[in-house]
Amino acid sequence: MLAQLRALFIIDPLIIVCTIAYGSVNLLVSLFETTGRMQVAIARAWARMLLRVSFVRMKVEGLEKIDPNGSYVFVANHLSYMDTPCILAAIPVQFRFMAKKGLFKIPFLGYHLSRAGHIAVPRDNPREAIKAMTEAGKMIRERGISVLIFPEGGRAADAKLKPFKEGAFYIAINSGVSVVPVAIAGSEKILPFGSGTVSPGKVTLRIGDPISTMGMTSKDRGSLALQLHDAVYELLKDTDLVEVKEEAGAGV
């Protein structure tokens, strides 16, 4: 009961205040800075403050495996809306996100996502989805940035690792960059599926070895999806997250 009251009257209001404050600054900066880099820096500061006011402790492993100035496609399991702030706060690279198109229609948030250079993905239009993935690959090549994708296609309500869709791997092969497996455990307890209340706790984030796409073609995206599914599963094995392995399937 005490934890619920703390979340309702302390944590949730602080999250709202931080989001409005940092979001307002970000929108102001976006009017003058068009590369999106400063906006990502502000978003990273917001993410760290969000974790701090939520009393979320982060344990990060494997950060030495990536170059902060490098370009990658990061693929991670997805358990909670807190996953994105956790990754943003922990991994110091220039990120852009592949997000469902519906988020770009939300007032304030949608404008920020567009101005920062994040990419909308229409889930119900395969042709438009391919166009978005091609745009992401071009952005990685030309601007030297990284992209974060949750290849399961959505949050897992039962905490099981679902099959990986192939879009992330199409982007990686198309842009010629390595794919980095990322495993998250604990965020499903911080902000459970279907809940709007954040609770204090610990999140473990593990970064695996980058997997090169050199020499691969688009025909290899299915096998690459399987390889990354296995890599994320291995990273999750000895966490307190109950994982059930499933075969990665094909999909956009």
Q: What is the pLDDT of residues 165-210, one digit of tens each?
A: 988 899 999 899 999 999 999 998 998 887 778 888 999 999 999 9
In a domain, 249, yes or no: no
In a domain, residue 136? The reply is: yes
Higher pLDDT: 56 or 12? It is 56
Residue 199 maps to a domain: yes
Q: How far is CA 34 from the centre of its chain?
A: 22
4 inside domain: no
Q: Does residue 2 lie in a domain region?
A: no
What lies within 8 Å, CB to CB, of 110 at 6+ separation is 103, 104
> What is the structure's pLDDT at 244?
41
- pLDDT band, very low/low/confident/very high, at 247 (cuts 50, 70, 90): very low
Does some domain include residue 243?
no
171 in any annotated domain: yes
User: Does the pLDDT of residue 231 top 90, yes or no?
Assistant: yes
Rounded Cα distance, 66 and 63, in Å: 6
Residue 81 scores a pLDDT above 90:
no
pLDDT at 116 over 90: no
Using the predicted structure, report yes or no on whether residue 134 has a pLDDT greater than 90: no
Give the phi and the psi of residue 59 in degrees, each rounded to 5.
-115, 115
What is the pLDDT at residue 83? 92
Report the distance separating Cα 209 and Cα 227, nearest Å. 12
164-203 residues labelled b (16+ CB within 10 A) or e (exposed): bbbbbbbbbbbbebbbbbbbbbbbbbbbbeeeeebbebeb
Which residue range(s) make up the domain with 221?
56-236
HSE of 122 in the Cβ direction (CA atoms, 13 Å)? 9
Q: Output the average pLDDT for the chain.
A: 84
Structural domains of the chain, count: 1
Q: Residue 138 and residue 136: Cα distance in Å, rounded?
A: 5
Residue 155 has pLDDT above 70, yes or no: yes
Nearest-CA neighbor of 36 among 102, 132, 114, 137?
Answer: 114
pTM as predicted: 0.86
61 assigned to some structural domain: yes
CATH of the domain at 60: 3.40.1130.10
| Structure confidence at residue 250 as a pLDDT band (50, 70, 90) | very low
- Can you give the length of the chain in residues? 252
CA distances from 252 to 24, 78, 224 (A): 34, 17, 14
